[in-house]
């Protein structure tokens, strides 16, 4: 399996950062529709998870932030040491951690939805 070049990884980092800014802005604008205190009530939170476009927005936020954040952590850890074994280990660890966070977040979204997909 061929690894991506560092320049390609940084392009992914920049793209996910810009895309995350966009989807988080849309998320915040959607939260302005009803007063903040009402948006935190249990019934309204559960109703959000039954709104498929909003669920897709939440999932895209989850994936974009996870990719961007764990890649940022990877970059920081690679600055600590430079060796092929360290780079491979850090890359694998951050990919596994990112996948675990996305899986856990997706499971939360599915369970809150009531598995009605």
Q: Which of 39, 45, 40, 101 is nearest to 68 (CA)?
A: 101
pLDDT digits (tens, 9 = 90+) for 82-115: 899 999 999 999 999 999 999 999 999 999 887 6
User: Hey, CA dihedral for 102, 54, 35, 42, is it positive or negative?
Assistant: negative
Tell me, what's the pLDDT at 115?
Answer: 60
- Per-domain residue ranges for the chain? 6-113
Fold of 6-113: 3 helical TM bundles of succinate and fumarate reductases (1.20.1300)
Whether the per-residue pLDDT at 17 is higher than 70: the answer is yes
Stated pTM of the model: 0.85
Tell me, what's the pLDDT at 35?
Answer: 83
| 46-55 average pLDDT score | 89
pLDDT digits (tens, 9 = 90+) for 59-74: 999 999 999 999 999 9
Secondary structure letter of residue 51 according to DSSP: -
Distances from the Cα of 12 to the Cαs of 6, 25, 33, 41, 107, in angstroms?
10, 20, 32, 36, 25
């Amino acid at each position: 399996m061929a690894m991506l070049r560092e320049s390609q990884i940084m392009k992914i980092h920049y793209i996910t950062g810009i895309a995350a800014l966009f989807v988080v802005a849309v998320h915040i604008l959607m939260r302005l529709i009803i007063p903040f205190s009402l948006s935190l009530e249990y019934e309204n939170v559960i109703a959000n998870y039954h709104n498929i476009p909003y669920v897709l927005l939440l999932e895209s936020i989850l994936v974009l932030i996870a990719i961007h954040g764990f890649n940022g952590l990877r970059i920081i850890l690679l600055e600590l040491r430079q060796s092929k074994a360290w780079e491979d280990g850090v890359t694998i660890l951050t990919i596994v951690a990112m996948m675990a966070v996305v899986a856990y977040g997706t499971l939360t979204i599915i369970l809150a939805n009531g598995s009605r997909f």
